[in-house]
Structure 1
Amino acid sequence: MVTKKYLSDLIYQVNGAAIEVHKNIGPGLLESIYHQCMIKELSLRGINFQSELIIPIEYKGLNLESDLRCDLFIENCLVLELKAVDRIIPIHIAKLMSYMKLLQVSIGLMINFNVTNIYHEGQKTYVNELYRWLED
């Protein structure tokens, strides 16, 4: 069962993986490189994930085909969006929140590797209305 404590611990582990990647290769590279490194780091840590998961979209009984892909879907309960940009803009956040809604999960994590200090300025957690229904 997914709890707030479980999600908190999982986010701590994923942030640790991102910090390790950033420490080793630094900022300024392409998102695809960070994606590959995160796959390796999550695997080394024994964290289950799906990479480039196609997001299912259903509208009033119609299953729509789409090219929407979640960078990493971790332990079937955490959406991880990776960025390598100067700054996070509202559309990045909207995209993450939409993925969370479509995948019916309560929490998402945005990590931007194009920063000096990833711990302080490169990661942010987002929650939706499902989060309040989780047990502590």
Structure 2
Amino acid sequence: MKPIVNSSYKNSELTGKIIGCAMKVHSILGNGFQEVIYQRCLAIEMAKTDLLFAREMEMTIYYDGIEVGKRRVDFLVEGIIMVELKAVSQLEDVHLAQAINYLEVYKLETGLLINFGSRSLQVKRVTNEYKLDR
């Protein structure tokens, strides 16, 4: 049931398109803006490339069958790729844990954690290994 990072490239064509959009946004804006600015710009770029996406998609979190809260993922692309954005100087383990938890809660196989806050764009592909077994 352990999620892993950078091990599966099943959705590499789709994730490649998303990363390309993020690279364009970062090359134009650079770092230093709030996350919401990058989110809006990435939505523009993904729309230009005809990617279907939901922005700030709210999902219910359950514990032992009981609703305990709600969380919003920045993007759900083509119904199968979770994209979580950050605008921090450096990605931390807590950011990766959040992305992994989103994959598990949303029952998705593949996600991207994208950080616009560093001088160079940081991208982590995250795979829910447990989902691969289903």
TM-score (norm 2): 0.86
Structure with bigger helix share is 1
Cα separation, 2, equivalents of 1:129 and 1:57: 20
In the TM superposition, what is the alpha-carbon distance from 1:131 to its structure 2 partner? 5.4
Aligned length: 127
Does structure 2 conserve the Cα–Cα contact (< 8 Å) formed by 1:107 and 1:126? yes
Q: Is 1:123 equivalent to 2:123 in the alignment?
A: yes
Per-residue deviation, 1:50:
0.7
Q: Please give the alpha-carbon distance, in whole angstroms, between the structure 1 residues aligned to 2:123 and 2:65.
A: 36
Residue of structure 2 in register with 1:58 after alignment: 62
- Structure (1/2) with the larger strand percentage: 2
Question: Identity over aligned residues, as a percent?
Answer: 29
CA offsets 1:21-64 (integer angstroms, 9 cap, x no match): 01111111111100000111111110011111112223333234
In the other structure, the counterpart of 1:26 is 30
Structure-2 residue corresponding to 1:12? 16
TM-score, with length taken from structure 1: 0.85
Whether the 8 Å CA contact 1:83–1:113 is kept in 2: the answer is: yes
Superposition RMSD in Å: 1.8
Matches within 5 A, 1:80-99: 80-99=83-102
Match of 2:5 in 1: none
Partner deviation per Cα, 1:82-130 (whole Å, 9 max, x = no partner): 0110111111111111110011011110111122222xxx111111224
> Which stretches in structure 1 are left out of the alignment for 5+ residues?
none
Instruction: Give, in whole Å, the separation in 2 of the partners of 1:61 and 1:110.
Output: 28
- Segments of structure 2 that go 5 or more residues without pairing to the other structure are 1-7
Deviations 1:53-86 (A, max 9, x none): 11222333323442x1101111111110101101
Q: Secondary structure at the match of 2:104?
A: helix
